[in-house]
Amino acid sequence: MAAKLPRAVSRLIEQFERLPGVGPKSAQRLVFYLLHNPEHQLQEFADRLVALKRETVLCSRCHNVSETDPCSICDDTSRDEAQLCVVEQPLDLLAIERSERFTGRYHVLHGAISPLNHIGPDQLFLHDILKRLEPVEELIIATNPTMEGESTALYITELIKQSLPPEQAASLKITRIGHGLPIGADIEYADGVTLARALEGRRQM
């Protein structure tokens, strides 16, 4: 009779396999690593997982992950309200902040339009952008330079053109983050200098 993994081990392996980028072998290694840790360390790890949801909120204005609502960026009166930067994920926001070149406000979509993954505009914080355009003079679309990111950028551009009054749409400058980011790259992995150049080289949509 073949040996079987304890039920507690196999169940946790299954949970790790659900994480992005974690295959069966990696999941097994992670679980057996945890298995050899002292119980108090495992308890601390479990507490941190629970706190991940209990101690964070989504900012009701920009949808960034934060400890407070509104988040510290939305609550900062020194930020430039004339510029609104649209990003896919909170990690992209953090990466742009590291460049120290952007002082406007953000809007986090929490993804990009991806029909193959059954993600449409309604699954994203996308239409909320329209509610935030009144003081905005420039909308910077900083979605990733991927097929999904480009599709999302085009959708946002068309949505604004079709939804705003002609005068407001004509006065709003819509730019796309440009030079410095190679096609297929993710913003969260770019260094500050590359992102600064990308912001400076943005083009009008």
The H or E element that residue 152 is part of is helix 147-163
Report pLDDT for 54.
94
Q: Is 191 exposed, middle or buried (0-12, 13-18, 19+ CB in 10 A)?
A: exposed
**Over the stretch 82-97, which tens digit does the pLDDT of each residue have?**
999 999 999 999 999 9
Please state, in angstroms and rounded to a whole number, the distance separating the CA atoms of residues 76 and 11: 44
Distance (Å, whole) CA 107 – CA 61: 8
Domain 79-204 is of which CATH architecture? Answer: 3-Layer(aba) Sandwich (3.40)
Q: Quick one: pLDDT at residue 197?
A: 66
Q: Which residues of the chain have pLDDT under 50?
A: none
Cα dihedral sign, 166-170-174-179? positive
CA atoms of 13 and 26, how far apart (whole Å): 9
Q: What is the pLDDT of residue 34?
A: 95
pLDDT digits (tens, 9 = 90+) for 175-184: 988 656 666 6
Q: Give the start-to-end residue ranges of the domains of the chain.
A: 79-204
At residue 111, the pLDDT reads 96
Please give the pLDDT value at position 203.
65
